[in-house]
Each structure stands twice: as C-alpha cells, then as structure tokens.
Amino acid sequence: MSKALLIVESPAKAKTINKYLGSDFEVKASLGHVMDLPPNRLGVDLEHDFSPEYQVIEGKEKIVRELQRAARQAEAIYLAPDPDREGEAIAWHIARQLGGDPEKYHRVLFHELTKPAILKAVQHPQHLNENSFNSQQARRVLDRLVGYQISPLLWDKVKRGLSAGRVQSVALRLVVERERAVKSFISEEYWTLESELQACNPPLFKARLQRLNDKKFDPHSQDETEQAMASLQGQAFTVNKIIRRERKTAPAAPFITSTLQQEAFRKLGFEPKRTMSLAQKLYEGQETEEGQMGLITYMRTDSTRLAEEAVKDVRAFIAKRFGPEYVPSRPQVYKAKAMAQEAHEAIRPTSVLRTPESLLKYLKKDELALYRLIWNRFVSCQMAMAVYDQTQVDIQSGPGLWRASGQVMRFPGFTAVYVEGYDEGQKGKSQNDEEPLNLPPLEEGQTLVNLKFLPKQHFTQPPPRFTEASLVKELEDKGIGRPSTYASILSTLQDKEYAAKYNRRYLVPTSLGEIVNDLLVENFPQVMEVNFTARLEDSLDQVEEGKEDWKKLLRVFYQPFSAALNKAKIQMRQVKGKGLPAGIDCPHCARPLNIRLGKHGEFLACSAWPECNYTSDFERDDKGAVIPVAGPELPEEKCDKCGAPMIVKKGRFGLFLACSAYPKCRNNIPLDANGQPMEASSWEELKDKCPKCGSALLLRTSRAGNKFIACSAYPKCRYATSPPLDVACPECGGQLTEKRSRRGKAFYGCNNYPECKFASWDKPVDHICPACGGKIMLEKVTRQGKSSLLCPNSECKYSMVKE
C-alpha cells in the first residue's frame, strides 16, 4: 500500500511530525528552498514582463531527485513548509519540480507542532495559495532588481563587495540620519528647583516648582533659578489641593515577531538573528518528558490573535496558580495592526502547563531564557490589570506653585509575572514608570516647613542612537520591510561594515556606510525614501490579498527606477581612487585632503597625489569633524636606504615606519608595542627560504607581541605565517603550525599539506597519551579558563586535567 508524502523544510521539523503521523506517511525535508533566481546574473527577463528565471539551487539536485522518487510512489503529496510567504514559495517550487497531477497536491499549515495541531492540519488541508506566492515573487524580483543593478554601480564607484538593498539601504539611511542628528545636536542648559518639605509627621518629601507668578517655571540659567529662590525665600508653604485617583495599566500584547526581537534584546541581550534562530528550534521541536514536540507556535507572525483553547487554558492556569482575582472578567483581546495576517496566531507556548521550570533539563541556557520570556509574556497578557493609587499634591508658597506626585501599587495584577522593557529615550520607562510614593499624612490648608531649596542643573540630551531593538521598532513603526526580514537586515548592515556597534550596544554608521548612503540618496531618492518603501510594502500586502497584480506593481516601480539607474551610471560621484573631501587641508602642501578606502580601512590622503604623498589615519570628534591622528614625520628617523624622512603608517600587522619617498623607496621598519622602531637584531633570520619567492625568511614580532614568520622581501612578497609549534605531526612527522581558515578562525595543521591533511581546532601538545600511547594530545580550554588534555584518537578519547 502506497504512503502519502509530506514535505517540510527542516529535518528537525520532519522528526517531530513523523512521530505523530505514523506509518501512513513518509515525511521528507527539502532543507529550505529548492529553486531560486540564478546567483551570478539578474535572472529577471526585463523584455518579457519581469518573468523570473528560476533554477534548482546548486547542491540541491540530489534532494530534488529524492523527492521526485518518493513522489512517484505516493498516493497524495502534502506540502507543509512554513505558513508564510516564503513557505508558500517553497511549496510552489517543490510542486513544480515534482510535477504530475495538480489534484495530488495539498497545502498543509502547521502553526504549532503538537499532536492535535498536526493531525488537524493534515485532516483539513488547503489548496496552494497563488496570491501569497505572487506576493513573494514580487518581493524577490524587486529585491533582485535593486540589489543586482545598484550593487555593481557601487563596486565601480566605491569598492568591490558592497551591496544595496530595497529595505537594507533604507535601514542604513535611518542609522546615518540618527547619527548625524546626534552629532549636530546642540545641548541646552536648563534648571529645576525642588524643595525639601516637612509636615507634622514624617517622612520628609520633595516637591518641584511648576509655576511662578502664574507662568510656567522654565529657567535656563543659574541666575534665573537663584532669582526664583530669592522671591520664594521666607514664604509660607501651604497644601493647596490633594488629588487622589486610581490608575490602571494593562498588560502588553502577546509577542509577534518584531516585539519578540525587541524584548529579547532588551532583557536577554540577544541580537535579532540569535533570537530567531533559538525561536526556530523551539518551534520545530525539542525532546521533553512527553517526547519530541514543538514548544512554541510559529515565530514569524504579525498577529496578536490567540486561539480560544489556549486562552481558556491560560485563564484556568492563572486562577489556580495566582488566585481568581488575577483573572479578568473577560479575556484580554488585542487589536492587530493593519494588514496583519490574522490566520496566524501570536507567539505563545504550545501548552501553558509546560512551564519553564519543567524544561530545565531539556533546554540549553539560551533556549530556556527565550522560552521563559515567551511563556511569561503569554501568561501575563491574560492577567488582570495592575492597580495603583496615584496622589498629586499642589503646594502654594507666595507666587510659587509646587507639586509632589507619585503612586503606590495596590494590586500587582500582571506585573506579578511580567513587565515590558523599554528603550533608551522611550517615553514611560515601563508600565510602572513612576517612583513609589512616600508622603506623610497631609490635609488641604496644612502648613509645611521648607527645610531647603534644591536647585539642579540639567542639559538637554540628543536623540538616542539606535540599538538593534529600537531600530527594529523604528522599521516596524514606519512600515519598512516585514518582521521576518529584520534580523537579516541588521546582520547585513554589520557584515558589510556599513554600521558597527558602539559600546557593544549602539549602532553607528561607519564612514563607508555614510559614503554609500549619501551616494544612494543622491542618485536614487525614490528607492531611499522611507514613505515610498512603506507604500511599496503595503502594495505587496495587497498582492497577497489578491487586490493588486504583481506584474503591474513591478512595471510601476521599474520605469522611474530604470531612469534613475541610467542617470546614476553617468552622474554618480567617483569615490574609488579619489575619495571624498575630508574638510581639512594637507599639512604639507595646503591642498584639500580626501578620505580614501584602503585594504585596512579608511585613511586620509592628499588630493594632489602623486605630486604630494601625504597620508594619515584619522578619527572624528563628537561633531563628526575629521582629525588626523597619524604620527608626524620623524626627523630623527631617516631612511637608511635613501635618506628621506620616515613616517608612521598602519598596516596589516599594526603601526610601522615607512619611507616618505614611497613608492620610489619601499623601505619600512616595524614598531614595537611601545611605538618604538624595532632593532634589526630583533629580526631573527631563519634557515628556510620563502616558498613564494625564495628570499630569506625572518622571525618577527608584531606590535601586539606575537611572533610570526614573514618574507624579507616584503612588501614585494607578502608571504607570512605563524611559527611552527614544537610538536611533530602524528601522521607524517612534519611540523605542526597555526593556520587560519577562510573565515579567520585559528586551527592547527601540518606543513606538509596537501600531502598530509592532519588538522585540529585544539592546540596540539607534545604529550604521550597514557592510555593508548599516542604521540600527541590536544589542549582544550573551557570558557572558565580551565585546561584539559584530550587524546585525538577517536577510539581512545582519554582525557586528563592539565597541570
């Protein structure tokens, strides 16, 4: 009897689903997309109405053949990629590759991976959603048109390897404009005046001056504040009015993708990319005491809707754990944003009874932290409001009106479980943002004693720089992109070195990012316009709802874009080779300096090069002005080859002295950790010759104090490597050396490579294994700094603590 075939994206998801479907189904994984636009060309037929030229992704041919073989034997095919636009595209492409009778295909949407949800979805399959697929196609083609046609322009005008993106570049613009707002901000002085007061009974309390002579008190100098203090000195302080009222605050809505990313950054310090990776694992299934199952609902959603059964279960849980007074009379319902896909649910645990404590031994630390965040937010969103007693006291003293206010919590409600975090500069630090009130018993008309005035100087603050959380919020508020893309956008900005982390928290644009942003804004104002990008997102949502034709959307976009592209090819400023004006003059010839891009980053160079060869590193002050920082010419250090002055430069191995007559003279001297020229005696000449040019090899010391081997013919020959370890290769007897992978990670390999392919991530140590007699052991260092020795023999695996 033939089985039904069910296809999902990931093996982890397949494992969870297979457990519940049993022998009637064969569950296969496609490992993501199987088709896409070609990687090395545009792949969009502009002559035939933007027809996408899809092809099987390189490396996926074997998976496609396996799926085709399984499909030929299946009586029905259930396509169950993720329940979003990307998942719909995967389903359509799989169906296209498998072929056959269209009636054989069924679309299955798993919003959570639990037995009831899986069985229900399979029993009630849907048809493939063409509108959702077209929306994804339009998005993919738009991104390809922008990325593959603007990026080569940046390669030509700035440097190779750069990229532009329909949403990515607008996000970069937000970061650049915020940084410029911070640097151009002019801080203004202002003052506040408080009074420490005493009533008949303790405690003492403070009140702030609000009005003076029936005008708002808003002093901007110490003189104004002192004049106010003089006019109030000796005045009687009398309680004028007391207002007491009840204040209620509602819990935050359950998580959607964007709010999960924001809150995970605020409370756990997780970058959006990390958050989504962990959430994917929790959704696809984890081993628990009940077996393999999904722990949260689908994590790419913009809907705050909750299933009735889930709400019923959590209300019962709240009543049992916290008491009936914590359960509101009616379930909390949250308004979804416009265009939210209400077929989805909010992100919640698949069972409220599966508490974080019950998963302690099944989840890793970060997985458990994120699950606890999701669980707490879900439980709190269905709890009663928090109730505060709020008191405001107005106090009169002659021409001055003072005010003391605050609140005390009467009923914690949802705050017993969860309080939402906040970003720097965000109004209202949290739902409980006022200080607890601590006032003595007061009555209207009561006289108070002014113990002392408390003047305080303040300065206005610039807008806060974006964190990853606040940038996600800004993108969402402005309708730029969609929550499922935010993590990749933030990663790309940093991977392409358009933005970097300041104090490991704040996103600031690099000079490269500012250059790219300015060029794009100048030449593609429509693509870089925030409101245009938001309207385009709305149009893509209209395509998904079947209200707009996706080919028409592309035609409307491409006509002005194509005109701007052709114009930019001619008019875009050339940065490569010339650089951008730095705003300061050359100290040698008084001509303008330019900021140029080199192998090791940006540097200052004279615009009169090669007539004037002045170069320097630079930094920026608080206002963004360029300040040269490279060392001056050192008259006492003359080139020993041509007699010209030596100047300080920065290279791959740190600072060094270079001849100012470069490129006529290429002499250079490395500097030690103290910035002093290294003596030739500190260069040890080795017996071995350079494998590239045959020159002598030198054992040198970097500025950081690390030993390395370099060719004596540098910079003509740039061969460099780490010195060999004092350990012989256990396989061929050659020398083991430290090497670097393509991604820059250190590993250890044999110098006889490729004949000998011994390699290890851990450092080899000349120590015989006591168990098997192996020639070496590997030193493994834990995060706590503890070292142990492991035998590399897979059959031995002996380990010991390193002495």
Residues 6 or more apart whose Cβ sits within 8 Å of residue 21: 6, 27, 118, 119, 122
What span, in angstroms and rounded, lies between the C-alpha atoms of 32 and 494? 25
CB 612 within 8 A of CB 588: yes
CB 122 within 8 A of CB 17: no
What DSSP assignment string belongs to 372-406? HHHHHHHHHHTSPPEEEEEEEEEEEETTEEEEEEE
CB 765 within 8 A of CB 779: yes
User: Does residue 486 have an active-site annotation?
Assistant: no
Bridge-based pairing state of the strands 77-79 and 4-8: parallel
Could you give the C-alpha distances from 266 to 262, 468, 488, 506, 578, in angstroms and in order? 6, 9, 19, 12, 42
Q: CB 664: neighbour CB atoms within 10 A?
A: 10
What DSSP assignment string belongs to 454-490? EEEEEE--PPPPP-HHHHHHHHHHHT-S-HHHHHHHH
What span, in angstroms and rounded, lies between the C-alpha atoms of 799 and 803? 12
CB 789 within 8 A of CB 782: no
Which residues are 247's β-sheet partners?
Answer: 388
What span, in angstroms and rounded, lies between the C-alpha atoms of 693 and 695? 6
What span, in angstroms and rounded, lies between the C-alpha atoms of 470 and 448? 45
What is the side-by-side order of every strand in the sheet holding 4-8? 25-29, 4-8, 77-79, 105-107
Q: Most distant CA pair in the chain: distance in Å?
A: 99
What span, in angstroms and rounded, lies between the C-alpha atoms of 645 and 80? 70
Q: Alpha-carbon dihedral of residues 619, 624, 626, 629, nearest 10 degrees?
A: -20
CB 657 within 8 A of CB 644: no
In the set 283, 298, 486, 714, the catalytic residue is 298
**HSE-up of 310 (CA within 13 Å, CB side)?**
28
Catalytic residues: 298
